[in-house]
Structure 1
């Protein structure tokens, strides 16, 4: 089913502005049209971002693909608001199976095993599997509010994954890799951990609650749409810097899988979610995220170009959960990372 692409209304304009006095992360802004046309300057900017902050803004206003993603993200935002309005009992009927699968509902109040503070998070989310929405594998149950919008999820997943592959193609060009080397590890048509995440962090929280504790993503490429502040990334000299929502832009970052594939040449940056600042903190914070993850049969090891007999460790404490020297498939690796969601 086609979705409207013009004009693209934005929920950002209806919210209070982000405070100008807070430190903004100086991450790059890169044109989607330039990336889609394989612009050498845009490709170089992606590599520079992937080796410094690990994050960049992707301007989606200047391409048809980008404008479609913006429109679909707004539709998914509306769906997210409806889905989270259900009672906790109704939502928990679709709870994910911790340590087994990431797909389904996660309530607020989770303690992440790798969080030193052991504070419960204050974010609830739905993880909706790409394989379920596109019939790659039999689907787990989801609530009707999600299953009724299966065509929207499928279209958004195709577009967001495709944009992730455009990022991979730029990195291939800049790093001297063969065409399709990274894309081949992240195939859309094979079973994988690819999914859309819809999140809500309520405006009123318990004292000391954190939205999401410091972490790195464990896939390949993350494409984020959010409308309120709260996301912070670790600065290059330490400390936390705000990633401010920008009209018509997605926020893109790399995950630990890309660090593994390139043996440390690329960066998976630490980030966290804290209460939105200023007047923004009076509003519930929603986000729509697409996670590109390696297909389940991909081997989690450096590509031949970067294989020098050693392997950079990723994900901090996660290393204690894997056998030294063992090469895991992405499917095995994701299950072990899922266990970090905690109790």
Structure 2
């Protein structure tokens, strides 16, 4: 199997480290994002108890009756708040939807799940914690790119970030599925960076430069962090938004659920994603037209079937 660079980095080396530790952290995350677009992060400030309760309330929500969940589906928001039912989202250019349903919350405007008093409080706390971690990681990335450390701050504070709780639902009869139906088709994320808090089962794979699929697993409570398309555009492909997917388990496990909670760190809609001048040279001409984060998000939501 191809071995790729997905290092395990200690966030405390950046937030509380010496000058040399901070610089090394920036170099390490930048190098990994340049090569594979993925790292795992330890000591991110999310206690095991909070993570455990997060998965408890998420599983409790998806166990609610279908009619109850549908109360929280909000027309006109392209799935950006509340519940999105099965059969809605697909990977770009895919012919069939992913085998999942999900819930999304943002900075505000989030529906309160009346049946689960702790759901809003726990997902809100996780949102705030991961937003802080994401900002710290973007500071380190800015240093790697020779930008001011706070380069991203004005665009991401109170930005359009999303916490998504995903249920890859059981399939009672796998033989009934279309041949190309998977839990999450091969795709790249839309945003700046994604922070993934574990998962209840294996399945996440990244596409290597050699064209093979490599399984990504975090250790214990570590989180997996990857580059999104917005950061790739901004850096003219210097940082890689790597294609990844969630594969179906062995046939005998298709009747079981998989849960996952990624945090998509989005900037404000008015952030300019025009390629950084420092990332353009004779060998790397400008690869993307100028666009704002809001315009790009709107374009991508249409491509994946969440917006008409």
Q: TM-score range by the shorter chain?
A: 0.7 to 0.9
**How far apart are residue 260 of structure 1 and its match?**
1.9
**Which residue matches 1:244?**
217
**Which residue matches 1:59?**
42
Distance 1:245 1:298 in 2: 31
CA RMSD, Structure 1 to Structure 2 (Å)? 2.7
The one of 45, 68, 71 equivalent to 2:28 is 45
For structure 2, the 5+ residue unaligned runs are none
1:185 aligns with 2:155: yes
**How far apart are residue 253 of structure 1 and its match?**
0.5
Contact 2:57–2:118 (8 Å) recurs in 1 = no
1:335 aligns with 2:298: yes
Distance 1:278 1:59 in 2: 33
Write the mapping of 1:26-41 to structure 2, written as runs, cut at 5 A. Answer: 26-37=5-16, 39=21, 40-41=23-24
The one of 258, 261, 266 equivalent to 2:231 is 258
Contact 1:231–1:242 (8 Å) recurs in 2 = yes
Contact 1:229–1:277 (8 Å) recurs in 2 = no
Superposed CA offset, 1:64-115 (max 9, x none): x5243x4322211111111001122222232254674522212222362623
Superposed CA offset, 1:283-305 (max 9, x none): 41111111110112212212353
The normalised TM-score by structure 1 is 0.76
**How far apart are residue 120 of structure 1 and its match?**
2.5
The one of 65, 83, 93 equivalent to 1:87 is 65
Point out 4+ residue stretches in structure 1 off by more than 6 angstroms.
none
Distance 1:43 1:171 in 2: 6
Distance 2:233 2:156 in 1: 13
Superposed CA offset, 1:160-203 (max 9, x none): 1111112111112222111211233222x3xx321111111124
Distance change >3 Å, CA 259–CA 147, structure 1 → 2: farther
1:264 is paired with a residue whose SS is coil
Contact 1:73–1:288 (8 Å) recurs in 2 = no
**Which residue matches 1:312?**
287
Distance 2:57 2:122 in 1: 10
For structure 1, the 5+ residue unaligned runs are 1-21, 133-138, 314-324
**How far apart are residue 146 of structure 1 and its match?**
6.1
Distance 2:253 2:15 in 1: 34
Distance 1:341 1:123 in 2: 14
1:273 aligns with 2:246: yes
Distance change >3 Å, CA 54–CA 198, structure 1 → 2: same
Distance change >3 Å, CA 111–CA 291, structure 1 → 2: closer
Deviates more, 1:84-93 or 1:210-219: 84-93
2:45 is paired with a residue whose SS is helix
Superposed CA offset, 1:112-164 (max 9, x none): 26234x123111110111x22xxxxxx25343256754333332222111111
Distance change >3 Å, CA 162–CA 92, structure 1 → 2: same
The one of 84, 99, 102 equivalent to 1:122 is 99
Deviates more, 1:285-294 or 1:105-114: 105-114
Distance change >3 Å, CA 91–CA 67, structure 1 → 2: closer
1:199 aligns with 2:182: no
**How far apart are residue 23 of structure 1 and its match?**
7.2
Distance 1:263 1:101 in 2: 29
**Which residue matches 1:6?**
none
- Residues matched between the structures, number: 294
Contact 2:90–2:305 (8 Å) recurs in 1 = yes
Superposed CA offset, 1:313-338 (max 9, x none): 4xxxxxxxxxxx5x443223222221
Distance 1:236 1:46 in 2: 18
Contact 1:102–1:338 (8 Å) recurs in 2 = no
